[in-house]
Chain A
Amino acid sequence: MNRNMNADLAAVDGRRRLNMDKLLTIICFVLLFIIVIIPIFMIIYNAFFFEGTFSIDLFKEQLTADKNLSAMWNTLKIALFATILGTIMGVFYAWLLGRSDIPAKGLMRALFNIPYMFPPFLGAMAWDLLLNGRSGYLNRFLMTTFGLSKMPFNINSIAGIVFVEVSYYFPFVFLQVVSALERMDPTLEESARIAGAKQGTVIRRITLPLVKPAISAGALLILTTSLAHFGVPSILGYAQGIYTLPTRIYAVIYNSGGSFEGIRQGAALSVMLVAVVALALVLQNKILSTGNYDIIKGKSMRPTLIKLRGAKAPLFLVAIFTLILIVFVPLVMIVLISFIKAYGLPLTPGNFTIAQYLKVFKAGGTLDSIKNSLIVSITAGVVCMFLGTLVAYVVQKIKPKGKEALEVISVLPYSIPGTVLSIGVILAWSGNLGITLYNTLWIILVAYMARYLSFSMKTSSAALLQVHSSLEEAARVCGASHSESLADITLPLIRPAMVSGFFLIFLPAMREVTTSILLYGPYTRTLGVQIYSLRDAGMIPQAAALATVAIGLIIILNAIVTQITKDRKGV
């Protein structure tokens, strides 16, 4: 009976008026069709159809090319290792911070979140500067100090790519597992102690199996993100000719000078990439579905912390070292390089200057790129905030026929690699359908909207679920019309969720490269693209300077967000 209640009001209203609800549903479907369905359709169409006829020649040709096969192999290798290592690291630190009595937990937790905030390609840049196989600063330092004849490390390798990706992606697992550990009923572990199990046995037999769903969910995120990732392999891999599918797609299109033929080849490669990601999703789904149980119950009690005793100091040192390695070293390196007179000079005070900053900002593109990024990110954030809420409202409250489809469509673009999405957007909006947005900011905006819509949809959805139907009904009974109860009750209640939905889109959009690298035109570089291009053109100190500015921006924006979310009252 309860199941029907949400639909009751809709049914009563539906019969009485020519209604708002139907209109909202239709708007939803139309917008999602334009933003999501058309680009995806265009990729598939162009990969398999040439001038109106079905043909898999192109596809076959691409699939058998050696370069593409090795790219695919690299993609898989990198993703696999990044996932395994990232998961181990995430689980280890989650347990250490969630269950043991290690000191300075709050601070460490905040610091472990930092890699989550920054774009991995900046990390790749920093590590390239440090451990480049030919000229890395750290490499050279180690060579001279220990009198080695060879560079000891080479970051421009599969292992290097894996290392950088792990250091940026392990928080996916870390955050999931920490929160699972916190929600877990501590009596589950205590009853194992009572049953006679020692602490180590409890971790192995009870704790780890119970957080397995969280681990798998985090690992899946690492896997899919790594498969589709462009920044790190492109920065570290190009020099050594190491390609992955996303960088290969970029190269194909870039080398063909943006010709239609190149884009078509890219589309065919995209289908391969999508297939790999889909395979990963299916596999993970299988693993996930076997262990789905609810561990959130029981009275909230602070869990008994496990005393590390003798292992406390060494483990604390290991944690501190990890933090320094993955958080501070890259950031410090980028900042230092941004002040150097010329790339390659030793890092001595005499070689420092602020000239790079002046140069970067005198160059016309820089300010424009910041402005472009702000415009596109804010617009995408605002539009998605409303559109996502609209979709969420239709799905949760109106519940029309086909709401499942609506849900799937809005989440779909997020599981598609950004590179692939860009190709779809290019195919759809560069004249094929009579509308040309290529080389304008609009095309980037459309891509961002498709890519990030699910973020705001999910947060608004969760908030709407919290708004029990009786709250709206109470308003109706108190004399409010349908639209008044929406305006007075529902919208104010989900406003906080809408705002955080906006920031969830705005922040990653500000540092985006993967999608925009294929979509930018001469006047529509984004901040990420600008940094990438500067570095690509060899102007490394200038790239570092702009990166430092970007890092500053990200820190300031994050601080603002925390402030806003903290001040919010009520609800």
Chain B
Amino acid sequence: MANVRFENITIKYGNHTVLSNFSLEVESGQIMCLVGPSGCGKTTLVRALLGLVKPETGTITVGDRCLFDAAKRVNVPAEKRNIGIVFQDYAVWPHMTVIENVSYPLKKQRRPKSEIRQRAMHVLEQVHMVDYINHLPGQLSGGQQQRVAIGRALVTNSDVVVLDEPITNLDAKLREEMLIEIRMIQQRLGATILYVTHDQHSALQLCDKMAIMRQDGSLSQYGTDEDIILRPADRFTFEFIGVSNFIPITRQGNELYLDCGELIPYPGLPADSEGKEMGVRLNDVVFDHDSPVKAKVISRVFLGSENSYFLKLGERDIRVQQSMLDARTLGTVEEGETIGLRFLNPHFYSKKEANPA
């Protein structure tokens, strides 16, 4: 068990700076999810940790072992870093059987044959692949290949295991199962896991801590799942983590109004929200007949676990998700009706710049 520290990492491809002075710590024995839109540099960070790409500046340490230090010219080669990795495309070797794949890292450590066999079998038990030890990867399903890749990453008892978008290629049901399995394996072995993904949903299901990266490679927020959902640090995180309605707020006279083509008064807007936008999650818009804010229902679509509404508030489109529980207790509204709205947990952010990152 060990923590992972990135300090002041800068990585460039030619003239293009992917990461600039990036720092982050993965705490020992935890699952840390690094989340960001694709192309934000999270995979590059992982490749730097593995020794597959060389940063210009900064240090990378695992526990008290320094893997990379630009100033001291330390750069431990990839094969000596002892970090487990599961790539997005699994990268199990198609010409080796399951057990050969899993044994390979131990072979490279020149372990005795009996120990290799015993440890490989132990790991294969952990990932429920004992029945397939002599299969070639081509004979396995995507989920099974995934397990082989995870087994190979765990077999050397690495302190740190990196999972780079490991479940993106699986279907929804299998994805959920794999997440639970990753969590259970982690609990059994106690490894530190760095989980990289662009899918905030699976990250939330899995993580102890979460780090959100902006498109330009900078860190937007680092914290627990609750921090990130309930107290997003900035508009980027708020928008990245879920779909929302945004309504601009303007002042007329002494009063603040929701600007929806026409000005709609909404009591309780904070004084400093003038000129900002109010962001509200789709499921935080609730129907309340007593509210003075009245919207017209354009359409209701039944989606099973929820109703999806399109409303017109003034000239602005508002989307609402109503959970079935609310639908049962509060009732539904139909096309053409008018309904009062209340906004729960509003967040106020300055307007988007003309050229969003």
Which positions 144-183 of chain B face chain A at CB distance < 8 Å?
152, 156
Report chain B residues within 8 Å CB of A12.
51-54, 75, 78
A1 engages B105 (CB within 8 Å) = no
Residue among B52, B77, B152 making CB contact with A8, cutoff 8 Å: B52
State whether A8 touches B53 (Cβ < 8 A): yes
Residues from chain A with Cβ under 8 Å of B81 in the complex: 477
A473 near B52 with CB under 8 A, answer yes
Task: Determine if B44 is an interface residue (Cβ-Cβ < 8 Å).
Answer: yes
Stretch from B83-91, B205-213, B303-311 at the A interface: B83-91
- Contact present for A11 and B108 (CB under 8 Å): no
CB distance from A115 to the nearest CB of B (A): 35
Q: Does B200 contact A (CB under 8 A)?
A: no
Determine the chain B residues whose CB is within 8 A of the CB of A1 once the complex forms: 13, 18, 39, 43-44
Asked if A493 CB lies within 8 Å of chain B CBs, one says yes
User: Interface digits, A477-514 against B, CB 8 Å rule (1 contact, 0 not)?
Assistant: 11111001000110011000000000000000000000
Say which residue of A8, A15, A473, A569 sits within 8 Å of B91 (CB atoms): A473
- Let me know if B338 is at the binding interface, CB within 8 A: no
Q: Does B336 contact A (CB under 8 A)?
A: no
Q: What is the minimal beta-carbon distance from A213 to any residue of chain B, in angstroms?
A: 30
A484 & B108 in contact (Cβ 8 Å cutoff): yes
User: Which of A8, A15, A484, A492 is within 8 Å of B47, CB to CB?
Assistant: A8
In the assembled complex, how far is the CB of residue B15 from the closest CB belonging to chain A, in whole angstroms?
A: 12
How many of A's residues come within 8 Å of B, CB to CB? 29
In the docked arrangement, what's the CA distance between A200 and B49, Å?
61
Give the residue of B52, B109, B156 whose beta carbon is less than 8 angstroms from that of A476: B52
Contact in complex: A489, B78 (CB < 8 Å): no
Residues of chain B from 37 to 52 with CB closer than 8 A to chain A in the complex = 39, 43-44, 47, 50-52
What are the interface flags for A441-480 relative to B under an 8 Å C-beta threshold, 1 for contact and 0 otherwise?
A: 0000000000000000000000000001011011111111
Q: Which chain A residues lie closer than 8 Å to B129 at the CB level? A: none
Cβ of B13 and Cβ of A478 under 8 Å apart?
no
The reply to whether the CB of A311 lies closer than 8 angstroms to some CB of chain B is no
Q: Which of A273-303 contact B (CB under 8 A)?
A: none
Q: Is the CB of A471 within 8 A of B53?
A: no
A489–B93 contact, CB under 8 A? yes
Contact A475–B77 (Cβ < 8 Å): no
Interfacial chain A residues near B22, Cβ < 8 Å: none
* Interface presence of A107 (CB below 8 A): no
Judged by a CB distance under 8 angstroms, whether B82 is at the interface is: yes
Give chain B's interface residues, CB within 8 Å of chain A. Answer: 13, 18, 39, 43-44, 47, 50-54, 75, 77-85, 87-89, 91-95, 104-105, 108-109, 136, 138, 152, 156
Nearest 4 A/B pairs, CB to CB: A479-B108, A478-B105, A470-B91, A474-B91
Binding site for B on A (CB under 8 A): 1, 4-5, 8-9, 11-12, 15-16, 468, 470-471, 473-481, 484, 488-489, 492-493, 569-571
Please list 29 pairs of residues, one from A and one from B, whose beta carbons are closer than 8 Å in the complex, sorted by A's number.
A1-B39, A1-B43, A8-B52, A9-B78, A12-B52, A12-B53, A12-B54, A12-B78, A16-B75, A470-B87, A470-B89, A470-B91, A473-B78, A473-B87, A474-B87, A475-B104, A476-B79, A478-B105, A478-B152, A479-B79, A479-B82, A479-B105, A479-B108, A480-B79, A484-B108, A493-B95, A570-B94, A570-B95, A571-B94
